[in-house]
Structure 1
Amino acid sequence: MMKNGIVVVDDDPIIRMDICEMLEEEGYTLAGEAKNGEEAVELVARVKPDLVIMDVKMPVMNGIKAARIIRSMQDTSVLLLTAYSQRELVRDARDAGVAAYLVKPVSEEDLIPAVEIALSQKRRIDSLKQDLERLKQSAEDRKAIEKAKGLLMKAYALEEEEAYRRMREASMSARMPMGRLAELILSDGPEAMSGHGA
């Protein structure tokens, strides 16, 4: 379920310990602890956790500023802890891309569902990103295939269908994806086909 675990950030070591214990009891992996926002940013850049649970009020750099930096670096979910629930805090937290916030003292009944929600948001974002990557790749492949087909048509005076058929056959006999074959044709010229079964 989780790849890189959870980072817990609070300037109070007892609160950190409590939260870490609650998480471990529920079987979550801990990726590290930090005592202020600056340490949190450095730690997150290094361990790339799935989730950061972070206090708002901390010395050196507060949780909202740290959350904003973390969210701009990577898709780590952030769960903020606060001793008070103020309107502008909620707005700032939302603007910083925070998944949720909890009011301290945090109980296990509040923490675990919030962690689950934040992690499921992270999984959804990850899977959307993968889908986008695949779409981008297939669009790039289509462009390359079109260009390579054009090169073959020109080089061997072929009709479009014949050029495409030859590419498909070469792709199948070389057990090479069409996109990869197209890249070869574009980089090495139409002769690249002859080495791949066409």
Structure 2
Amino acid sequence: MGEIRIVIADSDAQTRKSLRAILSQAGHVVVGEADDGLAALKLVRTRQPDLVILDAKMAVMDGAELGYIVEEDGLAPVILMTAGEKLRINEQNSEQQSFAYIVKPVTEHSLLPLIDLVIKNYRKIKTLEQEVVKLKDSIETRKFVEKAKGILMDTNKMSESEAFKRIQKQSMNKRVSMKSVAKAIILAHEINQ
């Protein structure tokens, strides 16, 4: 998977040290450490890690709350370390979060495969989100083009293919998207009404 940049947040210095050793030995880089939730959030926002590993119980802001903010803002995937309170946290936030859990004490054998899985899933989700945005834009463009074609067909007594070709030609001549040309046609038509 390669080098992964990680922020660790745990109120226990020994746990942070242990995690740092496991991660460093695996070739990952710890780009920041915090002992409370608020400090961790600041680190995540400034260091932009590939992954955040949080303790469920921290001062100022607990790990579940911080994990929700990090994921909601699309900052990084989250692994939440628990000491057995996993079920309670899951019931509380099951519809709001999708971060992974690991039960303490964390070992190399439990953490490293989980990191690989979390990173792969996060990348898949980001790719799918980008595809959804493209599809929504494509659908929106199609709606505008269809409406603009209808306007051109009505006002200029042209066929559907002629109207489409006119929009396409304007798009190429003006070096703007077909969506922009279609919006301009619609706007001009609405102003002239």
TM-score w.r.t. length of structure 2 = 0.79
Question: Structure 2: which 5+ residue stretches go unaligned?
Answer: none
The structure-2 alpha-carbon separation of the partners of 1:146 and 1:89, relative to structure 1 and needing over 3 Å to count, comes to closer
The structure-2 alpha-carbon separation of the partners of 1:10 and 1:141, relative to structure 1 and needing over 3 Å to count, comes to same
Report the counterpart of residue 193 of structure 1 in structure 2.
Answer: none
The structure-2 alpha-carbon separation of the partners of 1:155 and 1:21, relative to structure 1 and needing over 3 Å to count, comes to farther
The amino acid that maps onto 1:45 is R
Alpha-carbon distance between aligned partners in 2 of 1:131 and 1:33, rounded to the nearest angstrom: 34
Q: How many residues align?
A: 189
Is 2:107 aligned against 1:118? no
Give the Å deviation of 1:10. 0.8
SS of 1:81's equivalent in the other structure is strand
Give the Å deviation of 1:133. 0.1
The amino acid that maps onto 1:11 is S
Give the Å deviation of 1:176. 4.7
Alpha-carbon distance between aligned partners in 2 of 1:137 and 1:100, rounded to the nearest angstrom: 32
Q: Per-residue CA shift, 1:131-169, capped at 9, x if unaligned?
A: 110111001111121222233334433222211122233
The structure-2 alpha-carbon separation of the partners of 1:108 and 1:142, relative to structure 1 and needing over 3 Å to count, comes to same
Is 2:101 aligned against 1:107? no
Asked whether the 8 Å contact 2:3–2:27 carries over to 1, the reply is: no
Asked whether the 8 Å contact 1:36–1:59 carries over to 2, the reply is: yes
Q: Indicate the RMSD between aligned Cα atoms, in angstroms.
A: 3.0
Question: Structure 1: which 5+ residue stretches go unaligned?
Answer: 191-198
Alpha-carbon distance between aligned partners in 2 of 1:53 and 1:171, rounded to the nearest angstrom: 48
The structure-2 alpha-carbon separation of the partners of 1:67 and 1:31, relative to structure 1 and needing over 3 Å to count, comes to same
Give the Å deviation of 1:48. 4.1
Give the Å deviation of 1:108. 1.0
Alpha-carbon distance between aligned partners in 2 of 1:186 and 1:14, rounded to the nearest angstrom: 64
Give the Å deviation of 1:68. 2.8
